[in-house]
Structure formats: structure tokens, C-alpha cells
Amino acid sequence: MTAAKKKNTSNLLNDYHLLSFDSLDSTNEEAKRLARSGGGHGAVIWAKKQSEGKGRLGRSWLSSEGNLFVSVLLQPDKEMADLAQLSFVAAIAVIDAIAPMLPDKNSLKTKWPNDILLANRKLGGILLESFRTETSDKPWVVVGVGINVDNYPPRTEFPATCLKEAGVELVSAKIILSRFIHHFIERYNQWNNKSFAPIRKDWLNHAWNLNKKITARLPDSEMEGVFEGINTSGSLTLKLASGKKQIIHAADVYAPS
């Protein structure tokens, strides 16, 4: 355990149990350590702050107290290739948890691949990490979720916001955690028992700039086109000016300038 002070363990619904920490390096890292040391499906790791919070594409995630940092460790009976869908499961659970608290529910959007926007600013993000351990045939996945409840980093490339700034004052990270976990369990069961289709549909219903022009910034190029949807692997379909459909697996997307 790195720089971690274990605080509490409590049972949640069904297979799920909550491990609370005052501080961790990263809740995703703690979840991976847990999987490698005999921990099981359904561990929910929550820290009040992180010293080495991780974002997508090797970025860091500023993690000061007041915001939500949580990771769920899972070992679904699915193929490794299907696990990417869990990022959309988590995004929809965030929407379910937060939209009812907002005066304008439509201001909350899912943004490909794994962001949550509020009034066109980044409210949260999801970091999915899948891996195998020597002791098990089934792959593991950690679904890490960060939500800006009380504060947000200034001067980010994509502007950020937090719930407090949006006028949701009487709320804490703990309240958002319990709402998120409740909806995540529901949405996870929906995905696990049925298929990706209902999750994909709900995600697209909330999607930022669907059927509009977007710019996809890849490591060494940029592409502009109409954002037509996502496939079952969670990749984005872009219709280029030439009419050609381009599948994009990893990129940052923006409204064209």
C-alpha cells in the first residue's frame, strides 16, 4: 500500500463493498494492487484525495479534497474486448446520479470517449484499465471515476467546472459517491444481463455534438467530420467530407474552431 491510510470497510449491495481511504496515490492503482493480492469483484475504492491521480493518455488528474475519486474493481464474465464498454456504463451511471440534481438536466452530456460535461465544461472523467493476473483466467477491469464536486483545476486545455460552480451547493463527494454506486450497480447489471445496446442508446441520447462536426486530435494528425456514433467496441464513427466513414479508436475531440 503506497501512502495509503485505510479507513473503513463497509458492505454495499450484493457483491459490492466499500473501502474508504483518507488518501491514496491513485484509487485505480489501489484497485490493481487489490486484484493482485487476492481482492475480489465488487471492491469499491474511495479516497478523499489522491497524490498521483491518473487521467487518460498518461495525463495526471489533479485530486484535491472535496472532489470524488472512486474506482470499482470488476471481473465480469466477458471477453477482454467487451470491457471497454464499461466506460460507457460508468458515464451513464454518472448521468443518472447527477442529472436529477441539476435545474437543467440537458446541460449534462457524455463526451467521447469518457468525459462528462456540464454546460460545455469538463465535470468529470473515467479511466478504464483492464489487465490479467496470474491466478485467474478471467480478465479484470478497474473503472476509475473522478467528479469535480467542490473545485476544479484552472487553465486546463478543455475548460473544467464543478458542481458547486453550477449552483449545486449542498452536496459532498460522499453523497455523489453513494448516488453513483447505486446507479452503477443498476447499469452494470443491465449491461451484464442484457447487452451493450441499451447502454449505447442512453449514452448516445446524452452525447455531446452527436451528428455535428467535430475535430478529432490524434497523436500525429487531426481529422474533421460529422460525429455519427459509437460502435460496440466504443470506437467513434466520423463521416469525413469525402463521405468516407472513419473509425477512431483513441483521440481527443473538440468542436471545430
Would you count residue 127 as binding ligand BTN (CB under 6 A)?
yes
The only residue of 20, 27, 87, 110 in contact with ligand BTN, by rule CB under 6 A: 27
Q: Which stretch binds ligand BTN (CB under 6 A): 34-42, 141-149, 210-218, 223-231?
A: 141-149
Strands (E), the chain: 6-11, 17-24, 43-50, 68-74, 108-111, 115-118, 121-131, 140-147, 213-218, 221-230, 236-239, 245-248, 252-254
x/- binding map, residues 28-67, to ligand BTN, per CB under 6 A? x---------------------x--xxxx--x-x------
Sequence-separated (6 or more) residues with CB below 8 Å from residue 250 = 57, 113, 218
Would you count residue 113 as binding ligand BTN (CB under 6 A)?
no
From the CB of 131, what's the least distance to ligand BTN, in Å? 15
Map residue 35 onto helix, strand or coil. helix
Is the CB of 126 or the CB of 199 nearer to ligand BTN? Answer: 126
Residue 158 grid coordinates? 478543455
Would you count residue 207 as binding ligand BTN (CB under 6 A)?
no
Burial of 8 from C-beta contacts in 10 A (0-12 / 13-18 / 19+): exposed
For binding to ligand BTN (CB under 6 A), which residues are involved?
26-28, 50, 53-56, 59, 61, 69-71, 115, 125-127, 144-146
